[in-house]
Structure 1
Amino acid sequence: MKTITNKDLMRRANSKLVLQEIFNNDYTTRAEISRHLGLNKSTVSSIYDELKEEQLVEEVGEGAASHVGGRKPTNIRIYASYGFTINFDISYHNLHFMANYLDGSVIAQAETTIYQKNIHEILAIIEHQINQYVDTVVSVKGLLGICLSIHGIVNEQQEITYSPFIDFEDVNLNERLSAKYHVPVVLENESNLAAVYVRDFMMKFDSKNLVAIGIHKGIGSGVIINNRLFRGFRGQAGEVGRTLTKNAQGQLTPIEQICSEDAIINRISDELGLTGLNRYKVVEMYREHNHNVVAAIDKFIQEISSLIYNSSMYFDTGAIYLGSPLMEAAPEIFDQVLIKVQQLSHSEIKLVRLTDSDKATLLGACSVITHYALDLVGYPLNFFKTKD
């Protein structure tokens, strides 16, 4: 067996840095990489030749010559069609899924109902979708990895330790899918993935702290501290839906039991004796000033605003991002939350409403699994390109 030397380790580290530099730009040149990383030009060229041979990078024309003239440099970038990832969000009602090329660009996105299906039926749908993409997406290496968004708690051992909406029984999704498809498989909390999306798709790589709060059937949050996802000791960091508040009877209860989207719909349905109520009907009735609906939304605004304020104080974050299909359907609710938060806070809290929160979760999943596919876990990857 070949002995791994310090020279080998240095070469591997430099290769990762060069690949990261190429990924994080729409295009770059070997000279720019050498300058940014402080590496010898011959080292960069040698690593680039290896990446090119593997088809991880491609050439995209000539750049501008230097001020002293000479040969124009060759622009290079990550080769998107090197391979693709598949990402799933297993929610209570629907399975959302998305296929992405290596650079994060979307190949396809869709959803299908999984309401009242057991985990074995859900897994069969997941495998069917994976097989379909494997058979149809054209790329060099094919499938590179799979990420699953879980509306619950996932620990460091990739075990689902808490799932209030779906019974995963004893099915080990990671082992099952990695054994079948021979690619990295990662499970992660849905709100954590939304936070990763904000970090990697919306923002540049300056120092950042943020909280992404998702309001769906439950309420959760993902926390980014110093650019890194904060998961806590057992993966439970960000479970703000379990924050205690008082219900109408004055009893302490988790806030998600009275302020999640499903809790609001259920409350209105019970009070008005309605069936089949959904968020769009709730919004319609809210805009018609239905007394019960207005009261439910007002309670929601009050409680969520307090939760946002408290989250900001806990983490001293620069910004809080809200993913809420209800607020997407009725932006005026977000506007009232924003006003309420500003009233509560003596310092300005930057509050941003995420649009298309389901897509945000899937793109966060894309980022997570792309890090694994490229063996760049812990290396910041920028999917928000800025170079013209």
Structure 2
Amino acid sequence: MIINKHIMRTTNEKQVLQQIVNAGPISRSQISRNLSLNKVTVSDIYSELLHEGLIREVGHGVSTRNGGRKPVMALLNVDYGYVLSINILRQRFTMLACRLDGKSEDYTSVSTRNVDLTSVLDMIEDHIRQMMGDRDTRLLGLSFGLDGVIYENQILGAGLNGLKDFDLAKYFGDKFNVPVVLENLANESAIFERDFSGEGVYENLISVTIRDQVSAGIITNGHLYRGHRGEAGVIGKCPLADRYQEQNHETVNHYVSETSVLKRIMAYQKLDRVDVNRIRRDYLGHQPELLAILDEFSYYLAKVLANISSSFAPDAILLNAPILELLPELMDGVRGYVDKLAIPRKAPLLLTKNAKEASLMGGASAIIHRVLALDDLQLTFRNERPVVLEQIES
């Protein structure tokens, strides 16, 4: 079989860069051994990357047992530029700057309560420009995450009015002349778990995101599974039998979404806004009304997770939900309900380490892959940023 020389060269370049991102600091000779490529090929690619400024040399490693020169070590040049990850939520947008090695900086959260979509987009643009003015390096790309169905960088369905069929990628790509990646929040969270948990930890995982909608991001054999026109994981619209009258059905969103649960809590507390401190206080005080609402939530969530576990048999199911981050004790009840169900496969149920930033960091990984032209290759980042807690939206 004859392989086009240019395509083969491009593949080699990608693999060399992947080695430097994942294993740096690393020497050319080590890259050559890892990839089974001859040293001349690796040196040529290395020189091109160095000339471009995408990598930098960081001193010398240890010489071999036979002596000789100490090898020059290379790292990804994080000063080459940065990316911005932005999530557009129901009543706020959040923004995170990330270096090319995945290290996150400058988290921002902006309320958009009672603000129309056009004004929200203007606010996002202003914050991007402010971020650009505050940093010494250049903006390389943008990612946007939202509740909805995304396919081929287009919004086919959205929880927020006005976003469906709006070409968000072109809108901001034209303004800032950088590549733009769109993704739904659940897929971003799944990417985060794959890329920031350690190489090979999760080859098959499902990240269930509970916000205005209940969605699942699916990783199979290390790759994001999108399904038909990006519709994989849209579980919030699936019917779920009533706990007491099985002939009655409502959607998963009705029983499990954060919006529905918080509305019930606010109604019992007779409040028009969410008070996370009171929720926590009432829970610890064993207020029966709150415990009943949370028990219903735990029961129906367990039914959803059991179906996912049986259907997909993932290595793990990770839950991204601010309500569970506020009340992690609920996981015992969820696991208890799952254990009572007669299903063949019960995957480990875990809470994501950082519900507020997980999707942002997953979005950052997606645009870093695009910027480095490594869309189809695994990149492994270190999650060094502390958890950011924030008020749950009402």
- Relative to the length of structure 1, the TM-score reads 0.92
- Relative to the length of structure 2, the TM-score reads 0.91
Indicate whether 1:328 and 2:328 are aligned: no
Residue type of the alignment partner of 1:59: E
CA, structure 1 residues 207+168, in 2 after alignment: closer, same or farther (shift >3 Å)?
A: closer
Contact (CA 8 Å) 2:56, 2:76: kept in 1 or not? yes
What corresponds to 1:168 in structure 2?
163
Residue type of the alignment partner of 2:379: L
Indicate whether 1:343 and 2:340 are aligned: yes
CA, structure 1 residues 257+221, in 2 after alignment: closer, same or farther (shift >3 Å)?
A: same
Inter-partner Cα distance in structure 1 for 2:85 and 2:269: 39
What corresponds to 2:101 in structure 1?
103
Gaps of 5+ in 1: none
Inter-partner Cα distance in structure 1 for 2:323 and 2:359: 16
CA, structure 1 residues 265+7, in 2 after alignment: closer, same or farther (shift >3 Å)?
A: closer
Inter-partner Cα distance in structure 1 for 2:164 and 2:213: 20
Indicate whether 1:66 and 2:64 are aligned: yes
What corresponds to 1:78 in structure 2?
76
- The equivalent position to 2:35 in structure 1, one of 37, 40, 52, is 37
Residue type of the alignment partner of 1:354: T
Deviates more, 1:271-280 or 1:349-358: 271-280
How do 1:1-388 residues align onto structure 2 when only pairs under 5 Å count?
Answer: 6-139=4-137, 142-156=138-152, 158-168=153-163, 171-205=166-200, 208-247=203-242, 251-344=248-341, 345=343, 347-384=345-382
Inter-partner Cα distance in structure 1 for 2:383 and 2:163: 38
CA, structure 1 residues 71+161, in 2 after alignment: closer, same or farther (shift >3 Å)?
A: same
CA, structure 1 residues 62+173, in 2 after alignment: closer, same or farther (shift >3 Å)?
A: same
Tell me how far 1:274 sits from its aligned partner: 3.2
Q: Deviations over 1:132-173 (max 9, x none)?
A: 12222122xx111100001111122x2212222343266321
Tell me how far 1:207 sits from its aligned partner: 6.9
Tell me how far 1:284 sits from its aligned partner: 2.1
Residue type of the alignment partner of 1:327: L
Tell me how far 1:347 sits from its aligned partner: 4.6
Contact (CA 8 Å) 2:155, 2:165: kept in 1 or not? no
Q: SS where residue 183 of structure 2 aligns? A: strand
Inter-partner Cα distance in structure 2 for 1:79 and 1:153: 34
Tell me how far 1:339 sits from its aligned partner: 2.8
CA, structure 1 residues 272+137, in 2 after alignment: closer, same or farther (shift >3 Å)?
A: closer
Identity, % of aligned positions: 32
Tell me how far 1:352 sits from its aligned partner: 1.1
Q: SS where residue 365 of structure 2 aligns? A: helix
Inter-partner Cα distance in structure 1 for 2:281 and 2:253: 23
Contact (CA 8 Å) 1:24, 1:385: kept in 2 or not? no
Count of residues paired in the alignment: 379
Contact (CA 8 Å) 2:194, 2:202: kept in 1 or not? no
Tell me how far 1:385 sits from its aligned partner: 8.9
Tell me how far 1:243 sits from its aligned partner: 2.1
Inter-partner Cα distance in structure 1 for 2:98 and 2:271: 41
CA, structure 1 residues 363+295, in 2 after alignment: closer, same or farther (shift >3 Å)?
A: same
CA, structure 1 residues 319+177, in 2 after alignment: closer, same or farther (shift >3 Å)?
A: same
Tell me how far 1:182 sits from its aligned partner: 1.2
Q: Deviations over 1:240-291 (max 9, x none)?
A: 1122113477631111112212211212333454322344422322222222
Inter-partner Cα distance in structure 2 for 1:60 and 1:343: 55
Tell me how far 1:346 sits from its aligned partner: 5.2
Tell me how far 1:336 sits from its aligned partner: 2.0
Gaps of 5+ in 2: 385-394
Q: Deviations over 1:200-235 (max 9, x none)?
A: 011313671100001122211100011110111111
Residue type of the alignment partner of 1:373: V
Contact (CA 8 Å) 1:243, 1:254: kept in 2 or not? yes
Runs of 4+ that moved beyond 6 A: none
Contact (CA 8 Å) 1:204, 1:384: kept in 2 or not? no
Inter-partner Cα distance in structure 2 for 1:73 and 1:267: 63
